[in-house]
Amino acid sequence: MLAYLDRNGPPAASAVPVLLCDQCLTPIQGDVPNSGIVIWRNHPDGTQELAHVHKGPCARAIQAARPTPEWNWEELDVWLAHLVHNTKAPFENEPNVEFVAPRPSQWRQGKYERPTPPQ
């Protein structure tokens, strides 16, 4: 999860953005053993689940607690690079993509027909 942590300094006190592991709630830091990955899975109803976790025990614990559907994963640095790119120019070469919100919020190719709510 993304959070701001208060830092006492030096050189000065500040609030710094960090990614906390969704399993153990400690910061995911750097390129060290047990650095971070992003895991996600898509549910049949179109919703998606995503977690930022340490490699190894934290990732295995989340996946074991919720084994199906199957989880996908990506290295945190790769995922962050994609996120930065997509906040600037998502799908710049695909003009017929539209963002559909609310629930489930997701990108879809082509025209999206909103389902009619049950009567």
Domain boundaries, the chain: 2-109
> What is the C-alpha separation between 105 and 99, in angstroms, rounded?
7
pTM of the shown model: 0.69
Give me the pLDDT at residue 83, please.
87
DSSP-assigned beta bridge partners for residue 54: 36
Confidence of residue 47 (pLDDT cuts 50, 70, 90): confident
All residues at 6 or more sequence positions from 48 whose CB lies less than 8 Å from its CB, including other chains: 40, 41, 42, 104, 106
pLDDT at residue 105 greater than cutoff 50:
no
All residues at 6 or more sequence positions from 88 whose CB lies less than 8 Å from its CB, including other chains: none
